[in-house]
Amino acid sequence: MHRHLLLSLVPFLLAAPGLAGPRPPQMKPAWLLGLLDDELKRNLAVLKKEAVPPYFVSYTVRDLSADHVRASFGAVESDLRKHARTFAVEVRVGDYSLDNTHAIRGRGREPGYSTVSAALPIEDDEGAIREVLWRETDRAYKDAVERLAKVRTNRDVKVGEEDRSDDFSRESPERFVGEPVTIRVDRAAWRDRVKAWSARLLDDPRLLTGAASLWVTEERRWLVSSEGTSVFSGTSLARLVIEATTKADDGMLLPRNLTYASRSPDGLPPDEEVRKDVAGMMADLAAMRDAPQIDPYAGPAILSGRAAGVFFHEVFGHRVEGHRQKDEKEGQTFRDKVGQRILPDFLSVVFDPALRKVAGQEVVGGYELDDQGVRGRKVDVVVGGRFKGFLMSRSPVKGFPKSNGHGRGQAGRAPVARQSNLVVLAGESMPFAALKARLIEECRRQGKPYGLWFRGIEGGFTFTGREIPNAFNVIPTVVYRIHLDGREEMVRGADLIGTPLTALTTVIAASDRTEVFNGVCGAESGWVPVSASSPDLLLSQIEIQRKEKSQERLPILPPPPRTPGGRP
Amino acid sequence: MRRAAPLFLLMLLPSVAAARDPTIETAMKDELARTLKELRIESHAGPYFVAFRLWDRASLQVSATLGALVASDSETARPFSAEVRVGTPEFDNTNFVGGGGWVPEKATTIEADYHAIRHDFWSVTDEAYKAAVETLSRKQAAFENRLRTEGLPDFGPADPVESRDPAVDLDLDPGRWEALARRLSAVFRRFPEFHRSSAGVRLTRQDDYLVTSEGTCLIEPAHILVIGIEAETQAADGMVLADATAVVVSLPDHLPPEAALAAEAEDLARRLSATRTAPVLDDYAGPAVFEPQAAAEVVLAVLARAFASNRPPESGRGESSLPAGPFQNRIGGRVLPRSFSVVDDPTAVAWEGTRLMGSYRYDDEGVPGRKVTLVEGGILKTLLTSRTPQRKLPLSNGHGRGRTGRPAIANLFVDAKDGLSAADLKARLLDEVELRGLPYGIVVRRMAGLTPTSVFRVFPDGREERVRGAQLQDMNHQAFKDILATSSRRYAHQVQQGDAVQGASVVTPSLLFEDVTFKRRQGPFPKLPIAPRRQVP
């Protein structure tokens, strides 16, 4: 099995099991914290007397409320409100050095193995809540004991592991009671806005799909553990995605989207700005239809700031997630690279959960405490081109025995090391015009008739495993050829290929402006909000192939008329 | 005030009638007309049949445990589909293994937006037509060098129908149902020996639209309300025991009073609680009585499925890999004792005062639902059919149901002459027990699907003892040939099958089977919970 990592448009709301009418009554965070703590201690006291006692138990409750509205070509397709609570329990038996969560070699992946989860009543009813906590704790404990036996056998019959790190890091407990975040969503107003934006897409009859979607979610999280951690916190996220597809005459499908995210709907751009962006997206799509197909190309290219951010998130970020270094099925690209130069020396990369803004723009990948109750810390992953270390959850790897507060996951999933706010920093920079001149200069040096400029890129699938080539696939959406005379010419059908390390090492210059991409990222622990910020980057070597063309022809009939008896 | 309608006129209107916006119908018809007139690829014929379907649905789903709400979800959605056939009814793009892939369900706007609805049908029809043309050419290639052994046509004829039933206005406010789910689930607070329990309500209101190139235009309201109650526990040896019950009606007004629903929950709780401490049944082979609810579940799982004939798609490489139904080749043969007759009747609305869930005027292919005598004198006469012709069954009898239009039962009536009273049926069981020299016979009172949940041994002296851990083994249509006796009283079992709003009923007497095998459930069973639970009053 391969791991699919994806910086995506799919909302994390998809995973929530229920949807409800009214917003939950204002819950008293302390009441549920007390109940969780009491039930945890009560169960632990009994389980401690068993032959294989737990050395760690944690309870997490996540209460998620979400509003969603989607409209296609001016007509609402869905308009819902969801509310669900998920309870997850983690029971560890064995000890910090070897426990039931240890990877069993020679077997397929077991997603979320260390967490047992269930729906919890959305009402604060002690009896009903206690039953779920008690029942699921029992189940999790039995699973843990059974798995530990398998772990021990597996270790006895297989060759020694390359990385003999502990299974669980020791961290000091956190006690933190934050404020619940309450978002007021003017549903009617947002519904009208979403309708109006998607209605603009009717103006181009050659668009096959055209939709706008808004998600507003607020989450409350309770976390208690046998180590003494007791945390309540609230977060929120508003996301707007506007997407459209068209087809070139030869059948090539051309997608394009706009995506915005903020902690609150008020933080999304104002109506006029979105309208302007929609118009720009429509102009892009129309131009793309008529643009020539790209030829296979290997040579210099500029990635716009957003494109570079996504690029770094996909090809670099996922490979510095700590737990992957331990998994012997993983590529472990950077495992033996600590202290070595992996990027040009003018580049640095940090992940910082404490950031709220980058270059004056909001970033949404931040938090105070991660989903294992560890304080989110700034991690200098690359300093001056040299690799310093990994993003860490509480799963240690060789040389990195502690978490740096990047254990993240969606409700009901076992947290693993995930990205937060990624920032690419350039020690030397130049205005964009100079960067473009530098691209042309580089083309001349390499004897290329033109260079490429990737204005838009979408996250694709990244494979970090060993079973298939350690390749990445980010999808360029808006691409230009920059001719030697400076002329810009849009092309379509570009497919980026290549291997990550090579692509990364060919960065030769950066611009002095930083762009931000906010999105949600999906991996084995589910969807989490992230951001990626970067200046425009000039790479001396990037490889492009022509996208496989869809054989589907254009629609046979023109779109239908707008009104009965009307003309198309 | 000229516009105000006189009061008495309003009072004459049926209370359930709601206005229906004509936009959906107009949009579907207009796009269908354009499709028929203009949709074709040069060098290929246009479609010979097109059906547009749309399900205008509002639903709510509520669940609660121990008196507390777990979820309360409301949804409004309009899934839709376009069926496109190219070729001829004798040989078209369907019934072919290499046929087009599965098309994901798409949903159109929930607003009265003429253009958006047409736009969606346009786009889906375009894809469906292209796929149909491709499939037909693959099918033609596959059959080019061989004769189709059966030579069955692909699509049967049907007369066009036009009908619009008034929309039904249902209150979808979740408040009432949340309160009901809380109260029903609270019954289990008095049973701390259970590990899990819930009560839920699912209410769906839907308008089914069907517009076809043959001129059919059907708009039919469909609605269903299901109250589900379930619980789970473990016996002392660790055996996991679960029981579930569902009350299925078409409208909230048809629900029994709440006290009766609470009694259902209470009964389930008592049954499960008693089963928990009951002895385990040893392996058993011999006579068994299935009382009406259990008989209905067996009829549903075994007979009803066998009556719903399904034509396996052809591959062009000889025999289809998919098996035909067990009754496919048995028409004219005996499938039940001589005293039995079986009828499926979608036109029946009620039986002995019980409203039936499988009633409809037109099936999901727009064919009038017809009463079908399936078994007479124990002999299989015919099967339930849709517009997909089967061997010896070229015509639909109005049983193409659900999104796929596959044959399925509506209201199935199992009838037998010479039914016995309850006491006589038990005596008959004990006669058989004695004849076979068995220590006891078996009575199954309740089943959930094919899992017996309430099972008793009956000793020769008439004493009954509840047992647990009985699993039905090899229960199939063969067993029905050897039914020894039935009860005179019958019972109507209401279920929800297939799609969200597809109901069905089974009316059956108790059945005494000559030979039923029960296998004891084997461990190892999960251990009991280690920590005791904390009781909260």
- Give A45's contacts (C-beta < 8 A, 6+ positions apart): none
A132 contacts in B (CB within 8 Å)?
A: 65
Mutate to test the interface with B, among A19, A59, A131, A191 (most CBs of B within 10 A): A131
Kindly tell me the sign of the dihedral angle through the C-alpha atoms of A339, A340, A341, A342: negative
Whether A188 and chain B come into contact, CB under 8 Å, resolves to no
Task: Please determine, for residue A278, whether its predicted confidence score (pLDDT) is greater than 90.
Answer: yes
Among residues A540, A534, A512, A504, the alpha carbon closest in space to that of A304 is found at: A534
Helix, strand or coil, per DSSP, at residue A142: helix
Contact check, Cβ <8 Å, A50/B530:
yes
Among residues A125, A237, A229, A224, the alpha carbon closest in space to that of A181 is found at: A237
The pLDDT confidence band at residue A467, using thresholds 50, 70 and 90, is very low
Contact check, Cβ <8 Å, A76/B111:
yes
User: Which CATH number covers residue B23?
Assistant: 3.30.2290
Residue B352: the pLDDT is 94
pLDDT in tens, B479-527: 999 999 999 999 999 999 876 688 999 999 999 999 999 999 988 999 9
Torsion of CA B295, B297, B303, B309, to 10 degrees: 160
Helix, strand or coil, per DSSP, at residue B184: helix
The pLDDT confidence band at residue A9, using thresholds 50, 70 and 90, is very low
Residue B320: the pLDDT is 56
Q: What are phi and psi of B533, to 5 degrees?
A: -85, 155
**How many degrees, rounded to 5, is the angle at CA B447 between CA B406 and CA B264?**
105
Contact check, Cβ <8 Å, A564/B26:
yes
In a domain, B252, yes or no: no
In a domain, B107, yes or no: yes
In a domain, B291, yes or no: no
In a domain, B298, yes or no: no
Measured from the Cβ of residue B10, the count of other Cβ atoms closer than 10 Å reads 9
Q: Which residue of A has its CA nearest to B41?
A: A556
In a domain, B167, yes or no: yes
> For the ranges A40-54, A305-319, B223-237, B461-475, which has the lowest average pLDDT?
A305-319
Exposure b/e, A402-426, CB count within 10 A at least 16 = b: ebbbbbbbbbbbbbbbbbbbbbbbb
Q: At B14, list the tokens.
A: 């049926």
Surface-to-core class of residue B75, CB atoms within 10 Å of its CB (0-12 exposed, 13-18 middle, 19+ buried): middle
> For the ranges A295-309, B147-161, B499-513, which has the lowest average pLDDT?
B147-161
Residue B115: the pLDDT is 94
Task: Please determine, for residue B20, whether its predicted confidence score (pLDDT) is greater than 80.
Answer: yes
Contact check, Cβ <8 Å, B70/A119:
yes
B64 contacts in A (CB within 8 Å)?
A: 121
Contact check, Cβ <8 Å, A21/B74:
yes
Helix, strand or coil, per DSSP, at residue A38: helix
Whether A21 and chain B come into contact, CB under 8 Å, resolves to yes
- Mean pLDDT for chain A? 88
Q: What CATH number has the domain spanning A10-290?
A: 3.30.2290.10
pLDDT in tens, A193-207: 999 999 999 999 999
**How many degrees, rounded to 5, is the angle at CA A249 between CA A246 and CA A255?**
20
Q: Which residue bears the tokens 């064919």?
A: B367
pLDDT in tens, A390-410: 999 999 998 999 999 999 999
CB of B387 closer than 8 Å to CB of B365: yes
- Give A486's contacts (C-beta < 8 A, 6+ positions apart): A436, A440
CA distance A421 to A406: 11
In a domain, B21, yes or no: yes
In angstroms, the separation between the Cα of residue A363 and the nearest Cα of chain B is: 32
pLDDT in tens, B214-267: 999 999 999 999 999 999 999 999 999 999 999 999 999 999 999 999 999 999
Q: Which residue bears the tokens 């249509």?
A: B477
The DSSP result for B284-322, as a single string, is EEEEEEE-HHHHHHHIIIIIHHHHB--PPPB-SSSS-SS
The pLDDT confidence band at residue A545, using thresholds 50, 70 and 90, is confident
In a domain, B101, yes or no: yes
Contact check, Cβ <8 Å, B68/A128:
yes
CB of B343 closer than 8 Å to CB of B372: yes
CA distance B491 to B508: 6
User: Looking at residues B285-312, what average pLDDT do you find?
Assistant: 93
Give the total number of structural domains in chain B.
Answer: 1
pLDDT in tens, A57-111: 999 999 999 999 999 999 999 999 999 999 999 999 999 999 999 988 776 555 4
User: Looking at residues A249-258, what average pLDDT do you find?
Assistant: 89
Residue B432: the pLDDT is 97
Whether A564 and chain B come into contact, CB under 8 Å, resolves to yes
CB of A210 closer than 8 Å to CB of A265: no
**What part of A 109-128 touches B (C-beta under 8 Å)?**
119-123, 125-128
In angstroms, the separation between the Cα of residue B25 and the nearest Cα of chain A is: 12
Which range has highest mean pLDDT (A19-33, B85-99, B362-376)?
A: B362-376
Q: What are phi and psi of A43, to 5 degrees?
A: -65, -40
Residue B202: the pLDDT is 95
Q: At A430, list the tokens.
A: 């130049």
**What part of A 470-489 touches B (C-beta under 8 Å)?**
none
User: What distance, in Å, lies between the first and last C-alpha atoms of chain A?
Assistant: 48
Residue B437: the pLDDT is 96
Whether B321 and chain A come into contact, CB under 8 Å, resolves to no
Q: At A265, list the tokens.
A: 């709907």
DSSP letter assigned to residue B443: E
Task: Please determine, for residue A55, whether its predicted confidence score (pLDDT) is greater than 80.
Answer: yes
DSSP letter assigned to residue B480: G
3-state helix, strand, coil in chain B (%, to 5): 25, 35, 40
User: Looking at residues A293-304, what average pLDDT do you find?
Assistant: 93
Give the residue with greater pLDDT, A494 vs A568.
A494
The verdict on ipTM greater than 0.85 is yes
Q: Which residue bears the tokens 């990222």?
A: A521
Whether A18 and chain B come into contact, CB under 8 Å, resolves to yes
Residue B11: the pLDDT is 34
Domain that holds residue B142: 13-224
User: What distance, in Å, lies between the first and last C-alpha atoms of chain B?
Assistant: 60
The DSSP result for A42-63, as a single string, is HHHHHHTTSSS-EEEEEEEEEE
Mutate to test the interface with B, among A69, A194, A553, A556 (most CBs of B within 10 A): A556
Mutate to test the interface with A, among B30, B72, B203 (most CBs of A within 10 A): B72
Helix, strand or coil, per DSSP, at residue B161: coil
Beta-strand (E) ranges in A319-365? 347-351, 357-358, 361-362
Name the β-bridge partners of B351.
Answer: B354
In a domain, B469, yes or no: no
User: Looking at residues A292-306, what average pLDDT do you find?
Assistant: 93
Residue A114: the pLDDT is 57
Helix, strand or coil, per DSSP, at residue B250: coil
Q: Which amino acid is at A71?
A: A
